[in-house]
Structure 1
Amino acid sequence: MRINSLAASLFLLIIIGGFSCKNKNTGNVSEGEEKPGLEVSVPDFNADSAYSYIVEQVAFGPRVPNTEAHRHCSDYLIAGLKRFGATVQVQEAMLTAYNGDRLNARNIIGSYNPDNPRRILLFAHWDTRPYADHDPNPDKWRVPIDGADDGASGVGVLLEICRQLSGQNPNIGIDVIFFDAEDYGTPRFITENSPEESWCLGSQYWSANPHVTNYRADYGILLDMVGSRNATFFKEATSMEYASQIVEKVWEAARNLGYGKFFFNEPGGGVLDDHTFVVRGRNIPCIDIINYDPESSHRFGTYWHTHDDNLDNIDQTTLKAVGQTVLEVIYKE
């Protein structure tokens, strides 16, 4: 087929114009086409940094309410949240322990983007057990524990998350709460049937008296015992009952990041923990990321409530798996 000179010129202009438009509009989307999803930059969780925060907590000694170590550690946590740019509130309360002792307690709260109505609650307990009532040596049952994993690990991970929040704002509001007096429950050398109400005193108090009137969050994530070597996180039963979609979101994020060896795609037993009272008291769907051992008699690590809960038990690989997973979830909201 032969094209005359005018037609050929017009044809050439159309082709050139077409290529010019395409080159000029690279990255733009024509009307009616679906816009591609924006790539979200998720900060890199620094496990060494999180570990250092655990070391610093343990250095104070057992953080049992009414002790000097407890007071000094609370000041350290408050200063840390302020250093990482949070709006800080300290909720002071006089709580009653199982034996009638009055406990000077502090719930420590740090908020990011406080005016954003969409919020996620991240929390851990910062106190330590006044008893080692599962220690194999009965002579040590009444000696407080270091609580490197049971208490300090969750707080250490959250402090590192706060450090990342200070450098890169997420699209939502974040509230971080360090709950007090979680681990002052009735010891087993008094009774094997410890009442629920003797545990998680700080979260019980906050749930009835939140730091913001009518406080709401889209969901909450509790970190408890998240630092031990070869930890295994099963899908905890209370979490699945009240926040199964959040469990699946977090566990999928972990698998996509390559942390499936920590986050087992299997159901675990129910755990009485701070999230229990946040769910009950504030009706906020919450999940518990907690080291769970289905083979042990008490379903936790062998170090649980013993003097083996020390820094030798903490592993940066586990801290990285948990911290990076939580960052992945909150920054992709």
Structure 2
Amino acid sequence: MNFRSFRLPLAALTGLLFLTGCPDKKSAETADSGTPAASALPRAPVFNADSAYAFTAKQVAFGPRVPNSKAHVATGNWLVAKLKGYGLKVMEQPFEAMTFDGTNIRARNIIAQYQPTAARRVAIFGHWDTRPFADDEKDPKKKNAPMDGASDGASAVAVALEMARVLSQQPDSLAPNVGVDFIFFDAEDWGHDDTTQADLKNQLDGSGTDSWCLGSQYWAKNLLPANYKAEYGVLLDMVGAKGGTFTREGLSRSNARGPLDKIWNTATRLGYSDFFLYKDTDSITDDHVYTNQAGIPTLDIYDHPTYGTSFFPAYHHATTDNMSIIDRKTLKAVGQTMVQSLYVE
């Protein structure tokens, strides 16, 4: 995921302290964990964890999704084709940017709309690129090596893709009461880390552009669709690792408390309270900083360790972020919770 640039303080922007850091037939199958609480939830389709796992593996198979690389272009083309194949309205937002180390990159945000004419809308955000180099602090033997980004990026996109697939199969009588916009940001992870890259100059310092989240910064200033509005947004980031846990991050609580409570309560009713913890943690810099600035109340669901003082798991920005850590149980917990939450609307 996430760039998480461990992040630079953004108090001037937000008033808070930010830490750095399948089948084609229509399916009427519904989710039910078998608990009384789950059975009382509105009817919702089943999220297929095997499908989400395969979507994660497919992205990883292209190779590191670093802007300007062939793997990056191929992955983006695959995402666009996949979303169009589900009958969604798909838009591409190409842009050029300079990274903190002076590299000029060609990137694109990808937007896909389910039920594009629905007045009420919910946004599902994620990033589809990978960090170009491992952080030496976590990966000293492979410093600067590119990484697979299996959980950091690919898992979030995979969950969103499976949500899109499942929704596209529902007849009108089983559609949720909201339209859903899947918005995949590019160039999120090519940022300057003050800790591990202290010896490198951040050429964007003082420019007014954060070195992280270049795609979401561009989208926030150039909304697509034009004048885009949503009742709320959910940023998915690092949602596929074994033992993954998700806490209630600071900016999420302050800007999107209602949706956050709804999603966490839905997860508990589905039996996923071991994943969605009622634990409040400090704010971080992620794409939701800029979607919130664009007027979309957004919460961030990302893997936050329950032990120690680190804001990110050991695989974060390391070459160990590969398919060996991806777990269908985590994908299922996040994906089913998100699908069910749409049907609570």
Q: What range describes the TM-score normalised by the shorter chain of this pair?
A: 0.7 to 0.9
Is residue 170 of structure 1 aligned with residue 176 of structure 2?
A: yes
- Does 2:333 align with 1:321? yes
Name the structure, 1 or 2, with higher relative contact order (CA <8 Å, separation 6+): 2
- In structure 2, the CA distance between the partners of 1:39 and 1:323, relative to structure 1 (3 Å rule), is closer
TM-score with structure 1 length normalisation? 0.85
Q: Decide whether aligned partners of structure 1 residues 233 and 320 sit closer, same or farther in structure 2, where only a CA change above 3 A counts.
A: same
1:327 is matched by which residue type in structure 2?
V
Q: Report the counterpart of residue 279 of structure 1 in structure 2.
A: 292
Match of 1:180 in 2: 186
When residues 221 and 134 of structure 1 are mapped into structure 2, their CA distance, relative to the original with a 3 A threshold, is farther
Match of 2:320 in 1: 308
CA distance in 2, matches of 1:261, 1:236: 17
- The equivalent of 1:191 in structure 2 is 198
For 1:118 and 1:134, the matched residues in 2 are separated by 45
Partner of 1:216: 229
Contiguous gaps of at least 5 residues in structure 1: 1-37
Aligned partners of 1:53 and 1:159 also within 8 Å: yes
By how many angstroms is 1:135 displaced?
5.4
- The answer as to whether partners of 1:93 and 1:106 remain within 8 angstroms in 2 is yes
Q: For residues 161 and 137 of structure 1, what CA distance do their matches in structure 2 show? A: 33
Aligned 8 A contact 2:176 2:342 in 1: yes
Distance 1:243 1:145 in 2: 32
Q: Partner of 2:46 in structure 1? A: 44
Q: How large is the RMSD of aligned CA atoms in angstroms?
A: 1.8
Are residues 270 and 39 of structure 1, via their aligned partners in 2, closer, same or farther at CA, if it must alter by over 3 Å?
Answer: closer
For 2:136 and 2:276, the matched residues in 1 are separated by 26
**Is 1:292 aligned to residue 294 of structure 2?**
no
Structure of greater Rg:
1
Return the alpha-carbon distance in structure 1 between the equivalents of residues 259 and 268 of structure 2: 14
Per-residue deviation, residues 173-231 of structure 1 (Å, max 9, x unmatched): 11001110000001444328976700000000001001122111000001000000011
Determine helix, strand or coil for the equivalent of 2:274.
Answer: coil
**Secondary structure, aligned partner of 1:197:** coil
Aligned to 1:251: 264
Q: Which amino acid aligns with 2:339?
A: L
* Aligned counterpart, 2:246: 233
Q: 1:207 aligns with which of 220, 236, 240?
A: 220
Percent identical: 45
Tell me if the contact between 1:296 and 1:302 (Cα under 8 Å) persists in the aligned partners: no
The CA deviation string for residues 227-259 of structure 1, in whole angstroms up to 9 with x for no partner, is: 000111000111001111111000000000000
Amino acid in the other structure paired with 2:244: A
Check the 8 A contact 1:120/1:217 in 2, yes or no: yes
Letter paired with 2:104: R
Equivalent position SS for 1:309: coil
Task: Name the counterpart of 1:3.
Answer: none
- Quickly say closer, same or farther: Cα 1:117–1:134, change in 2 above 3 A: farther
The equivalent of 1:332 in structure 2 is 344
Equivalent residue in structure 1 for 2:77, among 75, 78, 102: 75
- Opposite residue 88 of structure 1, the aligned amino acid is V
Task: Measure, in 2, the Cα distance between the counterparts of 1:46 and 1:273.
Answer: 27
The alignment of Structure 1 onto Structure 2 pairs a total of residues equal to 295
Gaps of 5+ in 2: 1-39
One-letter code of the match for 1:110? Answer: A
Residue pair 2:138, 2:314 contacting (<8 A) in 1 also: no
Residue-by-residue CA offset, 1:36-69 (whole Å, 9 max, x unaligned)? xx97420000000000000000000000000000
Specify which structure has the higher proportion of helix.
1
Contact 2:136–2:142 (Cα < 8 Å) also in 1: no
Equivalent residue of 1:121, what SS? strand
Letter in 2 for 1:126: W
Higher mean C-alpha displacement, 68-77 vs 178-187: 178-187
- Please, what TM-score do these two structures have when normalized by structure 2? 0.82
Equivalent position SS for 2:177: coil
